[in-house]
Chain A
C-alpha cells in the first residue's frame, strides 16, 4: 500500500502529515470517508513556536523598555540635575589654582545688556588657606557676631582672577567634613554676607577688579574634620579643593 496523497513539495525534513504512518493506512480526519482528500490542506512547514511567532515583538520589547525609561526619566535632567550641587567637575589641592568655566543664563540684574542671554562664566579660583579662627571680624553691615556656643569658626581664604563684570551670584563656599556634612553651603554666611565670592560690602553680584581676595567664615561642629572645600555657582558642578 502506498500513501494516498503525495505532497507536491515535501516540507524540509518534516512530513506534512505526521499522522500518516509509513506503511500503514492513513488515519482519517473525522467525517471523511476513506479515500477522500481532506478539503483544506494545511500549509506545509513546521508549526512555528511561540518565540518565532512573536519574534517582532520580542525584538521591539527591549527598545520599548529603553524608550519608556528615557521618556519617564526626563525629570532627572529637567528637574534634578540642574537643581543642586552634585557633580565634581575638578579636583585640585590647596593652593593650586583652578580654571572654572561654565555657562549660565544671565537675568541682567547687574549688567542689563546681558539680560536673558547665556553667558560663559570664566574665572580662576585658588583656595589659599583654611584655618580655624577664634573670633569673627566685624561684618560690613549690622552688629558684630560672636561664635555661638558649641561651634567653631573656620576662615576660608580664596584668590580670584576674572575679567571685571563677571557674574558671581549663587557663589557657595562649603566645607565638607570626613562624614560628608556640608558646612556653610547656603547663603548668607555667618556674617550676613550674601555673596561670599566678592569682597565684604560689595554691592551687586559682579566683580569689579581683575584680581581679588576673599575671606569667608563658616561655622563648623567642634569635632568635625574638614577634608574638602567646595566652590560652586549654583551647580550642578563644583570645584573640590582637597585639604592636606
Chain B
C-alpha cells in the first residue's frame, strides 16, 4: 500500500468517469426489461387451444351481457359485461390460474368481477379440463378489437406475476360493427359455476 496523500490524477478520474459512463450506456442500451420481464405471450383466437407449457388454455366462447345472474345474486353492468368462457387443462401439476385481464384497442386494461358467480381465478390439476367463466365490465368503446389475457401469473403490478412465464392472449374477435350490435343487445347471462368442462351445447346449462 502506498503511503502519504493520495493524488487525484487525470488517469484515475478518467477511469472512474469512464466506468460510470460505460455502466450507464450499458443499462440504457441493453433493454433489460425485455430480457428480465417479458412474458412469453402465446396468441390465439376463440376456440383455439393454446399451449402455455404449464397448461392448455382454450377460450371456448365470448358473450356480452347487461345482466349476470347466478342463484344468489344478479349483477348489472356499468358498461357491458364481456363474458369469457375458458377451459384450463394443467399439464405439470396442480396449478392456480390467477391472471385474467382484457386489453382494449387503446391499451386500457380491465379486470374481471367476482359478482354473480363469475370467477376471477381458477385452480386445476392435470388429468381433466376445468371450465371457468370470467366476466369483465367494460365501456362501449372497449369492445372492438379487445383481447383477453389469461395466465397462471397475476397481472397486478405490471404483470409482475407473469415475468418470464407464458401468458395466453386471445383475440375476442369483436369488429367495430359487432361492437355496436353487442352494445345495444340487452342480454342476460346465467353464469355457471366452475366445473369439469364438457362438450357443452351453446349457452348455459343448469
Residues of chain A whose beta carbon lies under 8 Å from any beta carbon of chain B: 53, 148-151, 180-186, 218-221, 224
Contact = CB atoms under 8 A, between A and B. Distances in A.
A184 B125 CA distance: 6
Interface of B: 1, 91-94, 123, 125-129, 196-199
Given A180-B92, A182-B94, A150 B1 contact: no
A90 B116 CA distance: 48
Contacts of A182: 92-94, 126
A186 B122 CA distance: 14
Given A53-B1, A148-B196, A181 B128 contact: no
Contacts of A150: 128-129, 197
9 contacts: A148-B129, A148-B196, A149-B196, A151-B127, A180-B92, A181-B126, A184-B127, A185-B94, A220-B127
Contacts of B196: 148-149, 151
Contact of B127 (A149, A180, A219): A219
Main secondary structure of the interface of A (DSSP, over half): loop
A-B pairs with the 6 shortest C-beta distances?
Answer: A186-B94, A148-B196, A219-B127, A182-B93, A151-B128, A220-B127
* Chain B CB within 10 A, most for which of A180, A186, A219, A224: A186
Contact of B198 (A148, A181, A186): A148
Nearest to B87: A150
A185 B123 CA distance: 12
A183 B198 contact: no
Nearest to A148: B196
A168 B39 CA distance: 39
A81 to B, nearest CB: 18
A182 B126 CA distance: 7
A224 B125 CA distance: 14
Contacts of B1: 53
Nearest to B130: A148
Given A148-B196, A148-B197, A181-B93, A186 B129 contact: no
A186 B94 CA distance: 6
* Chain A CB within 10 A, most for which of B94, B128, B129: B128
Contacts of B128: 148, 150-151, 219
A151 B124 CA distance: 13
Contacts of A220: 126-127
Nearest to B92: A181
A244 to B, nearest CB: 21
Given A151-B129, A221-B127, 10 more contacts: A148-B129, A149-B196, A149-B197, A149-B199, A150-B129, A150-B197, A183-B126, A186-B94, A219-B125, A221-B126
A61 to B, nearest CB: 17
Contacts of A181: 91-93, 126
A43 to B, nearest CB: 13
B127 A218 contact: yes
Nearest to A174: B93
A184 B126 CA distance: 7
Nearest to B96: A186
B195 to A, nearest CB: 9
Contacts of B197: 148-150
A176 B70 CA distance: 38
Nearest to A222: B127
A78 B36 CA distance: 25
Nearest to B91: A181
